[in-house]
Structure 1
Amino acid sequence: MEQTRTAAEIEDCLLGLAAGFGFTGLFGGIVPTRPAPLAELRSRILFQRFPAQWLDRYSRKGYVFRDPIIQHLFHERAPFTWHEGYESCPQRRNVRLIRGEAAEFGLRDGYVVPISTIDGEIASLSFGGPGTLPVSADLSVLNFAASYALGRHLHRIATWQRVSSNLTAREWDCLLWAGEGKTNWETSAILGISRSTVTKHIMAARAKLGAVSKAHAIATAIRTKLLR
């Protein structure tokens, strides 16, 4: 997981581990605490390897605030199984709806790891699969892996946001073209500014990224996903 660079690579690591418990999919993000526009809810999703058709239906029909698993997360901070979440829900109609429709897509049982973030929100990673989870299963390894993966990914996002917000539009443009292998002269021609101005912007970007050279600045920007 230390070598991962994208959310998809983290998902691969987690699913490789979770497969030993019969899980075939995972879903994770920041838990919404109030009704919100669909775009905002989607922006809270960090990992998604559940069947696309199920995610589309779940999103389109607004199941998030009817889902017994989400409701259980509002008052439970210890890891729990989907079965435990379903059993604790007093709205049995919602249980039948969500449990039944999820099962149509091979998601009959699962396991949820709640994680408190440093800014006071609740995140979670939910593993799901087609079988029933054995009562004797020791899932502590998933607790650790999920917490580590989510923390690493959130740190990466925060780093990218901090770095990208510090750069001006022109500094980002110059760094982008430098990353494409363009010289300062070529970048000046592309952007319609002087070569000395390009040099100034590159030096400013380098300082903000804590880099010792232009190449180091480009490498730092790629590593933090500022450049892709």
Structure 2
Amino acid sequence: MEIASDYGFSTLFGGVVPSARVSPEEIKSRILFQRFPLEWAGRYNDRGYVFRDPIVHRLQHDRNPFDWQEAYTSCDFPKDVALIQGEASEFGLRVGYVVPVTMLDGRVAAVSFGGCHADIGAEGRAALSFVANYAVGNLLHYKESRKRLIGKVTPREFDCLLWASEGKTDWEISVILGISRSTVTKHIVSAREKLGAVNKPHAIAMVLRSKLIR
């Protein structure tokens, strides 16, 4: 996020692009990370805006990085443009840059940087493309590592431990994962009990020693 902020961006979202309409639960499982204003993130997720987002429309066929404005201009659904562009701007999200990332299994992920204004040239575009690919690669590595813990901790419990290992507070983790703070605390306590750890730092240390979080 620090690199993105150098170019004027204040938010980011990363996820696996849906190729067809899927359930809200499936959409949530595709989210890799999100740092949006809480109210906007909740509205976007709860109202299923992903299916009306011109950026997602463009990602169905474009594998090259693009500006939000390019997606708005090329979209064939003006009502969707008015909805997403209008409501996003209410939260200071007026400009953005999207980097598609093709994964090994052929699926497409994307990282979207947003903000009120941005100053991005060729150097900035290259830097953000590198950051996006690195971030998605790291998260996918974590998700693969997480599978090894199935039977001990749940995927969501692993996510909470993952972000805790990065020094995030329960509140910060709740924002990143789009869940309540109390739910984060509940997941961490449950993971600690399943791992037989005496406290949260011990649980994190256990998975670090097992090289499940790096």
Query: Against the structure 1 CA distance between its residues 160 and 153, is the aligned structure 2 distance closer, same or farther, given a 3 Å change threshold?
Result: same
Partner of 1:220: 209
1:220 Cα deviation after fit: 3.3
Q: Under a length normalisation based on structure 2, what TM-score does the superposition of the two structures give?
A: 0.72
Query: Against the structure 1 CA distance between its residues 219 and 84, is the aligned structure 2 distance closer, same or farther, given a 3 Å change threshold?
Result: closer
Q: Structure 1: how far apart are the matches of 2:120 and 2:130?
A: 19
Aligned counterparts, 1:52-131, within 5 A: 52-131=38-117
1:133 Cα deviation after fit: 4.7
> Which structure: larger Rg?
1
Q: Under a length normalisation based on structure 1, what TM-score does the superposition of the two structures give?
A: 0.67
Q: Structure 1: how far apart are the matches of 2:130 and 2:122?
A: 18
1:92 Cα deviation after fit: 1.2
Q: Which amino acid aligns with 2:27?
A: L
Aligned counterparts, 1:10-89, within 5 A: 15-89=1-75
Query: Against the structure 1 CA distance between its residues 63 and 219, is the aligned structure 2 distance closer, same or farther, given a 3 Å change threshold?
Result: closer
| Contact map agreement 1:110 1:133 (CA 8 A) in 2 | no
Partner of 2:149: 164
Query: Against the structure 1 CA distance between its residues 98 and 164, is the aligned structure 2 distance closer, same or farther, given a 3 Å change threshold?
Result: same
| Contact map agreement 2:192 2:198 (CA 8 A) in 1 | no
The count of residues paired between Structure 1 and Structure 2 equals 171
Name structure 2 gaps, 5 residues minimum: 154-190, 200-204
Cα-Cα RMSD: 2.6
- The reply to whether residue 180 of structure 1 matches residue 165 of structure 2 is no
1:134 Cα deviation after fit: 5.2
Name structure 1 gaps, 5 residues minimum: 1-14, 182-215
Q: Structure 2: how far apart are the matches of 1:74 and 1:165?
A: 32
1:180 Cα deviation after fit: 3.4
Q: Structure 2: how far apart are the matches of 1:51 and 1:100?
A: 15
